[in-house]
Amino acid sequence: MDNIPQKQDLLAAAERLSPYIHNTPILTSRMVNELAGCRLFFKCENFQKTGAFKFRGALNTVLSLNDDEAQNGVATHSSGNHAQALAYAAQIRGVRAYVVMPENASPVKVEATRSYGAEIFFCEPTLEAREKGHKKVIDETGAYSVHPYDDCRIIAGQGTACMELLRDNPKLDYILTPVGGGGLLSGTALAANYFGRDIRVIGCEPQVVDDASRSFHSGKWQPAPNIPTVADGLKTSLGKRNFAIIKDHVYDILTVSEEEIIAAMQLLWQYMKILIEPSSAVPLAVLLKNKEMFSDDNVAIIISGGNVNLQNLPW
């Protein structure tokens, strides 16, 4: 696919975003390094505005729209972090945001999305109902549809987290990110390719929804099975454009069990004192499962987000 973000697109995204985003801290822990047998650098996008990296891509897209595209607002369907990210991005641009959410979405996320001024439409919790609701909203409002991952502006925006990471840690051997739709993984892989030197980027995925791994290893796009995972942010199938980038620029995609994800999540809470959502624990789970692969290396992990329901923790 020709249409992938170029080096200058990522540089432009970084400049466009810089007044609005946190250059999130990179945390380290001697104790986690000892457990892992390597030097770990955690890029903490859980501290990003709206609580997840998704704000980077959403804001880059919304700020890239011309006035005609933006005038009737923006719309998406999402039960998660993209909803909050787009809502806040629209607030910054000063346009309306319309978000279709499944009626069983977490009340915390609904409230957060509303708090950024978005108008919310509820639908049945199926992909079909979400897409239908989304189309209806766009037809009625004329809003611009912002895809959560399969979009060059989104991918370039997500890549800026890796650009910040490389500025502070140019000598990385590996970068690990979670993979769901592939926005973060493809953006990271491009950034590592454009701005890094010999860095292996690895996608990390729950075993039960291993479509990215199967797609990557077979070379042929495959849809995600509709199976629940504690890392619910990663249930999505890989985007087509994201897959094209991942095929070319990602070193491997590795999977872990639900138990391994929960154990890694608890370990990060306990040792690092940071709130991370289950999806963000998947890369550390992968690393702990494959220690020999990373022995004595410099390994960065992008902590994707921290939006968890404190009333319903997985332990």
Q: How far apart are CA 44 and CA 276, in angstroms?
A: 9
Position 275 contacts a copy of itself (CB under 8 A): yes
Position 94 contacts a copy of itself (CB under 8 A): no
Q: Which of 7, 15, 25, 170 binds a copy of itself (CB under 8 A)?
A: 25
Q: Which of 39, 41, 51, 74 binds a copy of itself (CB under 8 A)?
A: 51
Residue type, 111: E
Kindly determine how many residues on this chain lie close enough to bind a copy of itself according to the rule CB under 8 A: 21
Contact stretch for a copy of itself (CB under 8 A) within 47-55, 176-184, 194-202, 284-292: 47-55
Binding mask 104-133 for a copy of itself (x = CB under 8 A): ----x-------------------------
131 within 8 A of 77, measured Cβ to Cβ? yes
Q: Which of 1, 127, 227, 313 binds a copy of itself (CB under 8 A)?
A: 313
> Who's near 305: CB < 8 A, 6+ residues apart?
45, 46, 48, 51, 52, 53, 54, 81, 233, 276, 277, 279, 280
Q: Which of 3, 66, 218, 311 binds a copy of itself (CB under 8 A)?
A: 311
Q: Least CB distance from residue 95 to a copy of itself, whole Å?
A: 19
Q: Which of 92, 263, 274, 293 binds a copy of itself (CB under 8 A)?
A: 274
Shorter beta-carbon distance to a copy of itself: residue 150 or 277: 277
Shorter beta-carbon distance to a copy of itself: residue 3 or 312: 312
Q: Least CB distance from residue 176 to a copy of itself, whole Å?
A: 20
Contact stretch for a copy of itself (CB under 8 A) within 6-14, 79-87, 214-222, 268-276: 268-276
Q: How far apart are CA 246 and CA 237, in angstroms?
A: 13
Position 19 contacts a copy of itself (CB under 8 A): no
- Closest among 276, 279, 230 to 27, alpha carbons compared: 276
Q: How far apart are CA 19 and CA 34, in angstroms?
A: 37
Position 30 contacts a copy of itself (CB under 8 A): yes
Q: Least CB distance from residue 280 to a copy of itself, whole Å?
A: 10
205 within 8 A of 179, measured Cβ to Cβ? yes
Rg of the chain taking only CA atoms, in angstroms: 18
Q: Least CB distance from residue 306 to a copy of itself, whole Å?
A: 3
Position 263 contacts a copy of itself (CB under 8 A): no
Q: Which two tokens stand for residue 2?
A: 């020709």
Q: How far apart are CA 122 and CA 112, in angstroms?
A: 15
- Axis-axis angle for helices 258-272, 278-289 (nearest 10): 100
Q: Which of 2, 128, 139, 310 binds a copy of itself (CB under 8 A)?
A: 310
- Closest among 189, 137, 180, 140 to 161, alpha carbons compared: 189
Burial per residue of 74-108, b for 16 or more beta-carbon CB atoms within 10 angstroms, e otherwise:
bbbbbbbbbbbbbbbbbbbbebbbbbbbbeebbee
Binding residues for a copy of itself, rule: CB under 8 A, are 25, 27, 30, 46-47, 49, 51, 108, 266, 269-270, 272-276, 306, 310-311, 313, 315
